[in-house]
Amino acid sequence: MTSPFIPSSFTYGDAPQGGVLMPMIIAGRNPSNSTDSQYASGYLWLSDLAQGGSGELFIQSGNSAGLPNWGLLSVASGVLNTLSDGTTIVTAGAGNIAIVGTSNEIVATASPATHEIVLSLPGSVIFPGSVTAGTSITAGTTLTVGTNATVAGTLAVTGNETVGGTLGVTGTTTLAAVSATNGTFSGTLSVTGTTTFAALAVTNLTVSGTLGVTGSSTISSLSATSGTFSTTLGVTGASTFSSGTFSTTLGVTGLSTLGALTQTGTTLINTSGAANTTIGTGGTGFVHIGNATGNTLITGSLTTTTTLVGGTGITATTGNIVASAGNITTTVGSITSATTLTATLGAITASNGNLVLGTAGNKILSTSVGTTTAAGANSFGSVTLVSGTATVATTAVTASSLIVIWRQGVGASTALGDITIGTIVAGTSFVVYAATVGTPGTPLATDASVVGYMIIN
C-alpha cells in the first residue's frame, strides 16, 4: 500500500480494512437537497470559509424519491456536546440533550422542521415564588395570589381576583370582581362586578355591581350601583349610589348622589353648608320625608315646583303656604294657616270638604269684578238691563255653569219683570233678562234693573 503521507499515488484499494474512500466536495456554499443530486451516498461536502462558505461539514445520507439528503456533520466551531445552567454542565446521552419543562410552570415544544425548541408558559401558570412584572400582568380569567400582591402601575383584571393577604396598587385598577381581606389603592379602583372588602382605603372607587365592606372604608370619591357598609363609610369627594345601606354613620363632605337610600338612624344633610341641598330631582316617584309618629320640622322655606302632599296635615305656624303656579289640595286632612292661604296661579281645592266661613265678618273677596256687559274672564259682576235684557260677554261661563243672579237695584225701571237666565254660549257669553209675567219668553222692556251675578263652575 502506498503511504498517503508522502507524495505518491493513492487509490481506493489502499483504504484500510477494505473500506471505500469517498471524495470531498469543497465549495464556497452549503449543499442543496434540490440541486446537488448528482453525488452518491457517502459524499462529503465542506462549505469552505476561505471561499465564503459557512465552515460546516455535510454528508450525503442517501437519495429519497430521487433527491439527496445532505446532513450536517459539524459546524465551523465544532460539534455541540454539552449544555449548562451557568454552574452545572450536562453532557449528551446517546448524542442528545433533552430540554423539558415543568408542569404548570413552563412548556418546551420542539419543531424538527425549523430546528427549534420553543419555551412558553402554559394556559394555567403557577409561580413557585414571587413574581415581579416590569410593565403589566394581564390575566384573562382568574388571578390568585396566596399572600400579598403589590402593583406599582396599572392592574386590569377581566375575570376574578382573589387575594388572601393585602392588595396594594399605586396606579389604576380595573377588576371584574374582587374579594380581599384588605385593599389599599392610591389611584382609581374600578370594579364591574361584586366587590367585598374587610377594610378598604382608596382614592377613587367606581363599582357597577355591589360593594360590600365589613370594616372601615375611606374613599376620596365613590361611584357605585349599590353598597352595603356595616361600619363607617367616609367619603371626602363626590359619591354616586344607586342604593346604599348603612347600619351606622354615613359621612359625606362632598357631592353625594343616591338612587335609593335607607337610613335607620339620625340623618344630617348640609348642616353647615351654604350651598343648595337637592333631594329627589329627575325621578318620577315620590320623595317621602317624615316620621310615622313624630313631626317633620323644616327650619327655612319649603318650595315645590309640582305637588306637595301631606298625609295628615300641612301647617304654617308663622308664614304663608303659597302655590305660585299650581294647586293646594287636601283629600283627607286639613290645611291650616294662621294668617293667609294664597294660590297665586291655580286653585285651592277641597276634594272632600267644605269652604266654611265660621267667624262673624268672614266674607268672599274678589278683586276683579265685571261692571259692564264686557266682563272679560270675570265670574263676579253686575250689569244694567237695556229694554229688559243684557248679554254678558265672559270666558268664565261654561255650558254647565250655575249662575246665581239677583236684583241689585231697580235703576230707571217703570215696571219690573222676573229676573232669569237665557241663552248660554260656553266660553263666550250668557243672557240675563226680565221675563214678562204671562209671556215669560218675552223680556219686559220697561225693566232697567241693575242685576248682580256669580258664576259657579
**Per the structure block, which three cell numbers stand in for 12?**
481506493
d(CA 91, CA 112): 21
The reported pLDDT for the residue numbered 345 is 72
Residue 448's CB is within 10 A of a number of other CB atoms, namely 20
Residue 82's CB is within 10 A of a number of other CB atoms, namely 9
| pLDDT tens readout for residues 169-196 | 777 777 777 777 777 777 777 777 777 7
Tell me the one-letter amino acid at 299: T
Closest-CA residue to 387 (of 330, 350, 457, 434): 434
Residue by residue, pLDDT tens for the chain (457 residues) are: 444 444 455 554 555 555 566 789 999 999 999 889 888 888 999 999 999 998 889 999 888 888 999 988 876 665 566 788 888 878 665 557 888 888 888 998 988 878 788 999 887 888 887 777 777 777 766 777 777 777 776 777 776 777 777 777 777 777 777 777 777 777 777 777 777 777 777 777 777 777 777 777 777 777 777 777 776 777 777 777 677 776 666 666 666 666 666 666 666 777 666 667 777 666 677 777 766 676 777 776 777 766 766 666 677 776 667 767 666 766 666 667 667 777 777 777 777 777 788 888 888 888 889 999 999 999 999 999 999 999 999 999 999 999 999 999 999 999 999 999 999 999 999 999 999 998 998 999 999 999 999 999 9
User: CA dist 416 to 213, 219, 373, 434, 445, Å?
Assistant: 89, 87, 20, 7, 9
The reported pLDDT for the residue numbered 4 is 47
Exposed / middle / buried, residue 456 (Cβ in 10 Å: 0-12, 13-18, 19+): exposed
**Per the structure block, which three cell numbers stand in for 79?**
460539534
The reported pLDDT for the residue numbered 18 is 55
The reported pLDDT for the residue numbered 377 is 92
The reported pLDDT for the residue numbered 137 is 72
In angstroms, how far is the first alpha carbon of the chain from the final one?
146
Give 60's contacts (C-beta < 8 A, 6+ positions apart). Answer: 31, 39, 40, 41, 42, 43, 44, 45, 68, 69, 70, 71
User: CA dist 449 to 57, 107, 375, Å?
Assistant: 140, 115, 18
Q: Specify whether the CB–CB gap between 443 and 388 falls below 8 A.
A: yes
| 239 Rama class: left (phi>0) / alpha (psi -120 to 50) / beta | beta
The reported pLDDT for the residue numbered 90 is 81
Task: Dihedral sign for Cα 72, 77, 78, 80, please.
Answer: negative
d(CA 92, CA 312): 97
Q: Give SS3 for 191.
A: strand
Diameter over CA atoms, the chain? 178
pTM over 0.75: no
DSSP letter, residue 149: E
| pLDDT tens readout for residues 264-296 | 666 677 766 666 777 766 667 777 776 667 677
Tell me the one-letter amino acid at 19: G
DSSP letter, residue 400: T
HSE-up of residue 425 (Cα within 13 Å, Cβ side): 8
DSSP letter, residue 102: B
Cα 309 to chain centroid distance, Å, stands at 32
Closest-CA residue to 60 (of 12, 23, 19): 23
d(CA 162, CA 200): 15
